[in-house]
Amino acid sequence: MKKSRVPADLIEIGAMFGLLVATVSFFTVMAPGFFSPGIFTSMAYQLPELGILTLAMLLPILSGGLNLAVTFTANVAGLVAAWILVQVTGDASAGIIIVAILAALATGALIGAAIGALVAYTGAHPILVSLGFMILLRGAGEWFTRGGDISGMPEFFRFVGHGTLLYVPVPLIIFIAAVALWVLVLHYTRLGFSIYMIGSNAKAALYSGIDVARVQITLYALSGLMSAVAGIVMLSRFNSVRIGHGESYLLIMILACFLAGANPFGGFGRVLPVALGLVSLQVISSGLNLMGVSQHFATATWGIFLILVMVIRAPFQQR
The model's pTM is 0.89
Predicted confidence (pLDDT) at residue 319 exceeds the cutoff of 50: no
Predicted confidence (pLDDT) at residue 36 exceeds the cutoff of 90: no
Find out whether 184 and 271 touch, Cβ atoms under 8 Å. no
Mapping DSSP to helix (H, G, I), strand (E, B) and coil, where does residue 165 land?
strand
pLDDT in the model for residue 223: 96
Q: What angle do CA 27, 31, 33 make, to 5 degrees?
A: 105
Predicted confidence (pLDDT) at residue 5 exceeds the cutoff of 50: no
State the Cα–Cα distance between residues 201 and 204, nearest whole angstrom: 5
Exposure b/e, 264-302, CB count within 10 A at least 16 = b: eebbbbbbbbbbbbbbbbbbbbbbbebeeeeeeebeeeb
pLDDT in tens, 60-115: 999 989 999 999 999 999 999 999 888 765 566 778 888 999 999 999 999 999 99
pLDDT in tens, 228-274: 999 999 999 888 888 888 787 887 888 788 877 787 777 788 888 88
Nearest 5°: phi and psi at 150?
-115, 125
